[in-house]
Homo-oligomer: A and B are copies of this chain.
Amino acid sequence: MQAVGMIAEFNPFHAGHAYALAQARKLTQADVVVVVMSGNYVQRGEPAIFDKWVRARAALDHGADIVIELPVTGAVQAADQFAEAGVATLAALRVTALAFGTEHPELAYLDLARQLEKAPLMDPGFSDYTQTYATQLNAAYAKTAGITQTDPNFMLGLSYAKAVLALQVPMQLYPFGRQGVAHDALHLTANLASASAIRQRLRGGESLAKIVPADLIPVYTKQQQYGWPQYFPWLKYRLQTADLAQLRQVATMAEGLEYRFTQQIDDAIDMTSFLKRVKSKRYTYARLRRLALAITLNMTTAAVEKARHLPQLHVLGFTPAGQQYLRQVKHQVGWPLLTRVSADMLAPNGILAMTHRADRLITTISGVEQNYGRRPLM
A contact set with B: CB distance below 8 Å: 233-234, 236-238, 240-244, 246, 262, 266, 296-298, 300, 302-303, 348, 357, 360-361, 363-364
Contacts and interface: CB of A to CB of B under 8 A. Distances in A.
A132 to B, nearest CB: 27
Chain A interface SS verdict (over half) = helix
B360 A240 contact: yes
Contacts of A364: 236-237, 240, 266
A204 to B, nearest CB: 28
B360 A266 contact: yes
A357 B236 contact: no
Contacts of A363: 266
10 contacts: A237-B237, A240-B361, A241-B297, A241-B298, A241-B357, A241-B360, A242-B298, A243-B298, A243-B300, A243-B357
A234 B296 CA distance: 12
A296 B238 CA distance: 10
A70 to B, nearest CB: 20
Nearest to A356: B240
Contacts of A296: 241
A45 B185 CA distance: 58
Contacts of A240: 357, 360-361, 364
Contacts of A357: 240-241, 243
B246 A246 contact: yes
Nearest to A348: B244
A109 B298 CA distance: 48
Contacts of A297: 241
Contacts of A241: 296-298, 357, 360-361
Nearest to A360: B240
A243 B361 contact: no
A364 B238 CA distance: 12
Contacts of A302: 243
Given A237-B237, A237-B364, A242-B298, 18 more contacts: A234-B237, A236-B364, A237-B238, A238-B238, A240-B357, A240-B360, A240-B364, A241-B296, A241-B357, A241-B360, A241-B361, A243-B300, A243-B302, A243-B357, A244-B348, A246-B246, A262-B348, A266-B363
Contacts of A360: 240-241, 266
A368 to B, nearest CB: 13
The list of the 8 closest CB pairs from A to B, nearest first, reads A241-B298, A240-B360, A234-B237, A244-B348, A241-B357, A241-B297, A242-B298, A240-B361
